[in-house]
Amino acid sequence: MEYNKIQVKGEPKMNYKELSLDELKKIAKERGISIGNSGQEKIIEKLEKYDSENTTTSLIDGSDIKEDISEDTVITDKAEDVENPKTDDDKKENVIGAINDIVTDLEDFEESDEKDDTIDDIGMDEEVPCMSITFGGLVYTSPITGATYKWHKIGDVEYLSVKELISMNNSKPVFLNRPWIILQDIRAVNKFRLMSKYEEVAKVNQLKKLFATGDTKLIEATIESALKSGMREVVISKVRTMYNNGVLNNTHIIRLLEEKLRFEIVSE
């Protein structure tokens, strides 16, 4: 059975419930779907969602992605791409969807029964799915093996061993600690003690509820925290979408956001 092809419209859907947990994880990995510490039902849900959103015969091995990223360690924070978007509405929605999927995974971590102060065992050679939350692209070259890992866009996933992540944390700590990437395995999150950082990132998905309160002091504190975590472009994208959809219309909050983000929300 070929797992790495996207389902063709009109073909019968795969019955994931007949597959084992290991088979489901294998399919998810080959399709670049982050599963974190999800159980069987959650993985099936993500696979079925993936199938419903991708009804072409394209492969997902990345062969259609242009190799135009520099070999420098990092290409990141392209704020001008956000401030002057050139993509169409569908692509904008896909970006926001990727952000929301990332935050959903973070919320899964936060709600997990395994969330505590202990560090679960994870082998040095085990691979951890690492998802980019950075606009533009990221490139990391291993000082151990010389291997190059590329995230072409926000939401892309690369698999790095725990040994590789330790080296990354020593040589380029911003990847894990700003963070530029999110580890999708709760054991790795605990090992590198990143949960508090991820909780700050997850607050970005709660902006709609936060704005509805009208509490400017809390809004200001939340935005400042997000900026310290390197989330400016993600916040701008989220805020722009809410403004364009009419969700964000409080002039006092808009002025506060423009001041803190140094970005004109009302520009058209």
Total structural domains within the chain: 2
Of 64, 81, 101, the domain-final residue: 64
Tens of each residue's pLDDT in the chain, 268 residues: 444 443 444 445 678 888 888 788 888 877 777 776 677 888 888 888 777 766 433 332 333 333 333 333 343 433 334 344 445 555 545 555 555 565 555 555 544 444 444 455 899 999 999 999 887 789 999 998 999 999 998 889 999 999 999 999 999 999 998 888 999 999 999 999 999 888 877 877 788 888 999 999 999 998 988 888 777 877 888 898 889 889 899 999 999 999 999 989 886 5
Q: Is residue 29 part of a domain?
A: yes
Of 40, 64, 88, the domain-final residue: 64
Q: Is residue 11 part of a domain?
A: yes
pTM over 0.75: no
Cis previous bond, 129, omega within 30 = no
Q: Is residue 86 part of a domain?
A: no
From residue 145, give the alpha-carbon distance in Å to each of 77, 84, 168, 184.
27, 38, 12, 23
Q: Is residue 76 part of a domain?
A: no
Range of the domain at 53: 1-64
How far is the C-alpha of 42 from the C-alpha of 48, rounded, in Å?
10
How far is the C-alpha of 150 from the C-alpha of 140, rounded, in Å?
7
